[in-house]
Chain A
């Protein structure tokens, strides 16, 4: 038990190191790319004098190591308020408070002219929601098709399911999104065209189309994987024994079949969740879903370093968390691998 705990801690520590490393790398690479953030802020038609003025105002003319040090310096700091010395609002305008006087400061975005923590706080939950919905769609559709195909292997059902999944796996996301929007929102009017929705009901309806768009590829892949793994497991001797003992088909499928095929399914699902949380740009743009993806792309294209740093910090954290959780749950997924 103590060994397991020790291993878990080591894994988590590695994860944190990876996150910090990747975010730093992104910051450095973004700064080294050609392109002048000051120029991007004032537009192509501003005179060189105005560009220089803005560059100086934002400290963009300072050398790279200085800027880098500034970010890390202010990233996490303490700001305890006492009655004699209340927290100076102006100094801490771009900070987010985590309670107990701990502040996180990711700086200001050049492009959006707002604190990066505000931007992230607004958009992360939206992306997370969409990712969760997409993975739910993937699992549901994937399981449905995959199990149907595996249980009736070699029949018309199998062919139909695999045919549909093949289409799903070959279709480009933007085309799927366009078609879904055209058919279901525009022609039939069942769902809103875009946006986030104002009320809870509207919101759920707005979630459907983007989740479906994102889920198509993943569900097709999942279906094929499940069919493959489940088919292999169902042909094993112990399943034949279970059938001979009189177990119902449902029990065989779920208890004996799926439980053994869980590992690859969980891997794919976790990875998808981790990466999708970072934002699915095309879908977010098409359905005007206010997520992180679109912001990350714009930030990179406009050389907006604080936002790049902030979004990469977040997206890498999402992916690393997914993989760490997966690693820690290996024992649960397959008891044969428990030490």
Chain B
């Protein structure tokens, strides 16, 4: 090869760095093309025969799986190879697109600035302004909604559209500078037109800066694809990309760092190779051009230089791969004396969510409830045996017809502001909850109270059904019997509040929460957390034992673990799966923790009005084909479920399994439906792919990938449709919105009716915002539920709910799959805490004894302090 190209190639070849880069790129491309042939496993198939290591990590390298498996037991080597094509293509193409557009626009703008065509420059720069100012997240979400199913094209479009603006500004600035140079002026004087100037003078001078920008962009594009994945606009799972593999491996940083190191190293290699080739090309072409200052020394061979970057990367990889798994520090201090209760001390707890409101009429989410329970006592509560017991009401009675409940309040019960808790306070608080101006999420739970409709609509000045019979005697009259009414009175919604809280719960009220619970609020900052102190006027003498509780919010799980280890937190329940498994594996800690099973059911919902699930036999096929046991093997916080009512909720006996996994029965059901499937040939089954609605980056997405594989074996091909939470609710709750997806219900109060009525009854069906996401309507089920709603006899009620379970099993609008549990862990010096059958995180009876460390004083909301021993 001769001529300028030949010279350039000769120069390129002489640079060892560039050649090394080229070799790297070639190796990666070969791997991408040939890898899937070498790999023995389907990259999207889980090896269900495997199980996790004792520390809870996916299995490591073995003869069968050369690089081990990921969290869903899929072969890493195969996924790496299949992901290589996508990631490399996206990285390079998106970079080329963004850099190309940016350079073109930048040069155009720079060249036309100040000339007759100056409007082009203005237009281009204003466009850049708008795009830079537009929030990325909003843009991406809008694209995700507009495009039904995202694929490589969408990803390239988004990345290309977003990535060019910075480059354009940079290029324009450089172009302006170059245009002002003397020799360019000379060229113009000699008659050179703008195109010639741009091509001959501007672009070559830009090459260096462009190469730098492009090089750094490749890695960012590969990683950006993973980000787009959580924003629901990426490559749909289960397809593998390096960015997604990196993200999915994040929880295993401590226990199986190789899972992170492998895709990370692959990305690094790609970037290094690409950058070196880019540098080499730039140096090679720069050597011979006119007007370029790098002349001296460019024809001499470069010294062999150490590939520092490769060395560093290799060292990091080695370090990560062979790092020993994270150990947990042993519990601090000697086991203190447990006998005598000690008064005093401050208890530190944290949560990773945002607690939005402490107003009991408004707070509904899992994070707020335990906090609200400490501040606001109710008339009745649950005792350790799971029965309803007196709290602020010293005694309560229910009339024989189930329509009147009378409560007698305790003497000496006081609010935090010092005033006594009287019958009229109970009336005022209930009226505040049901006031027309209160945006309460649960007003309709109390619709059975006489006069509710008129009062809630603002037509009556008072709630007719709540009557003050004496200073401390109050009765509630229902319009129709409600067997769960007392359960509803144990909720925060029914808690008495201080008079300062006003007649209605203003959603924007700023007053400090004030109730009659064991702790009162000293300070509350929604960004940092709540500081609670003992309520000296609490009705139980000598209680609570703690001086105060510090409840921090917005603390991520990893940080919670660090703080717990350093003694800054006294209790954790939101550990990451990997951290939790480490603590479970530790001898010293495992005797201090407990699993708490959630009163919650997770299920797959099948929309009975949308094909193919308008056919009962196909629904039954799904019920037989799904095996939640696989999910239970992959995560220790999953418990298989076979019925709607979760364990722990009082209901019919659970002696027989309600639903079983039976692939043969599934195939038989498909045949009966008219869509027989032959597993050996893969022929038959339902012809179209079915969209499964799920939210990215959640446990449900993982389970969905498992159900996808299991249902494929009976001829139902699932396609995951990822949407954000708000869209998920909107779509699944709309008539004909979604064919299948995740459904579930958390107990509002521990009663089986709470699991059936809002979710599976005909009354719950709406065109929009329907909680009955299967749009399932069965007159028999409705009849059973209506009878059970008011049935006072326990045995008859259980029999009715058993019938309800059987109906759901036979009709299969819901396939209950699993329940979840979390691990609670507390420091050895924490006493008096035991998981309660109904109430979560009940800290009212806790006392701490730090022994040598002594009592701690209230410290406000400092995020983290070292303990000095």
Contact = CB atoms under 8 A, between A and B. Distances in A.
Interface of A: 14-15, 18-19, 21-22, 25-26, 29-30, 33-36, 39-51, 53-54, 57-58, 93-94, 108, 111-115, 122, 154, 156, 159-160, 162-164, 166-167, 169-170, 172, 174-175, 178, 181, 185-186, 189, 192-198, 202, 206, 217, 220-221, 224-225, 228-229, 232, 235-237, 263-264, 267-268, 271, 274-275, 278, 285-286, 288, 290, 296-298, 300-303, 308, 311-312, 315-316, 319-320, 323, 330, 334, 336-337
5 contacts: A159-B308, A170-B271, A217-B220, A225-B209, A229-B208
B419 interface: no
Q: How would you classify the secondary structure of chain A's contact residues: helix, strand, loop or mixed? A: helix
B170 A112 contact: no
A308 B554 CA distance: 20
Given A33-B727, A53-B439, A330-B173, 17 more contacts: A14-B126, A34-B730, A36-B769, A45-B441, A45-B758, A50-B444, A154-B302, A159-B308, A169-B215, A178-B558, A192-B864, A195-B862, A221-B213, A267-B173, A271-B166, A303-B726, A336-B177
Interface string B134-168: 11011001100100000000000000000000100
Contacts of B508: 93-94, 108, 113-115
Given A41-B439, A42-B439, A320-B133, A337 B180 contact: yes
A287 to B, nearest CB: 8
Nearest to A286: B556
B588 interface: no
Nearest to A169: B216
B286 to A, nearest CB: 10
A339 to B, nearest CB: 8
A166 to B, nearest CB: 5
B357 A113 contact: yes
Given A33-B726, A122-B527, A323-B169, A194 B293 contact: no
A164 B294 contact: no
B177 A263 contact: yes
A167 B730 contact: no
B563 interface: yes
B128, B166, B563: residue with the most chain A Cβ atoms closer than 10 Å: B166
Nearest to B861: A198
Interface in B31-66: none
Nearest to A126: B527
Nearest to A322: B132
B138 A29 contact: yes
Nearest to A10: B122
Contacts of B866: 189
Interface string B239-266: 0000000100010010000001000100
A302 B726 contact: yes
A33 B135 CA distance: 15
B726 A40 contact: yes
Given A159-B305, A290-B527, A296-B135, A166 B441 contact: no
B381 to A, nearest CB: 21
Contact of B771 (A48, A159, A286): A48
B731 interface: yes
B527 to A, nearest CB: 5
Q: Considering the complex of A and B, which 4 residue pairs feature the smallest CB-CB distances, nearest first?
A: A195-B863, A35-B726, A163-B308, A316-B133
A273 B133 CA distance: 13
B443 A50 contact: yes
B437 interface: yes
B294 A235 contact: yes
Contacts of B528: 195, 290
Given A263-B177, A337-B176, A298 B769 contact: no
A195 to B, nearest CB: 3
B271 A274 contact: no
A232 B293 contact: yes
Given A34-B727, A35-B726, A267 B169 contact: yes
A320 B129 contact: yes
A156, A164, A220, A224: residue with the most chain B Cβ atoms closer than 10 Å: A224
Given A35-B730, A301-B724, A288 B173 contact: no
A34 B738 CA distance: 13
Nearest to B509: A113
A112 B356 contact: yes
Interface in B273-311: 275, 293-294, 297, 302-303, 305-311
Nearest to A42: B441
A194 B769 contact: no
B130 interface: yes
B863 A172 contact: no
Given A166-B271, A170-B219, A172-B223, A22 B133 contact: yes
B88 to A, nearest CB: 14
A169 B271 contact: yes
A114, A122, A195: residue with the most chain B Cβ atoms closer than 10 Å: A195
B766 interface: yes
A25 to B, nearest CB: 7
Contacts of B305: 156, 159
Contacts of B437: 57
Contacts of A159: 305-308
Given A172-B246, A297-B137, A18 B129 contact: yes
A48 B247 CA distance: 37
A163 B309 contact: yes
Nearest to B510: A114
B321 interface: no
Nearest to B270: A170
A330 B729 CA distance: 50
Interface string B835-869: 00000000000000000000000001111101000
B770 interface: yes
A46 B442 contact: yes
Nearest to A108: B508
B701 interface: no
A29 B766 contact: no
A166 B137 contact: no
A21 B177 CA distance: 31
B364 interface: yes
A47 B365 contact: no
Interface string B506-526: 011010000000000000001
B135 A315 contact: yes
B863 A58 contact: no
Contacts of A308: 138
B445 to A, nearest CB: 8
Given A93-B508, A224-B216, A288-B556, A315 B169 contact: no
A35, A41, A198: residue with the most chain B Cβ atoms closer than 10 Å: A35
A202 B863 CA distance: 10
B727 A35 contact: yes
A47 B771 contact: yes
Interface string B746-771: 10100000000010000000101111
B500 interface: no
Nearest to B726: A35
Nearest to B737: A34
Contacts of B348: none
B594 interface: no
Interface in B565-591: none
A78 to B, nearest CB: 23
A285 B365 CA distance: 20
Contacts of B771: 44-45, 47-48
A224 B211 CA distance: 10
Contacts of B442: 46, 50
Contacts of A229: 208-209
B219 A300 contact: no
Nearest to A170: B219
A45 B773 CA distance: 12
A48 B141 contact: no
B769 A43 contact: no
Nearest to A274: B132
B205 to A, nearest CB: 8
B510 to A, nearest CB: 8
B409 interface: no
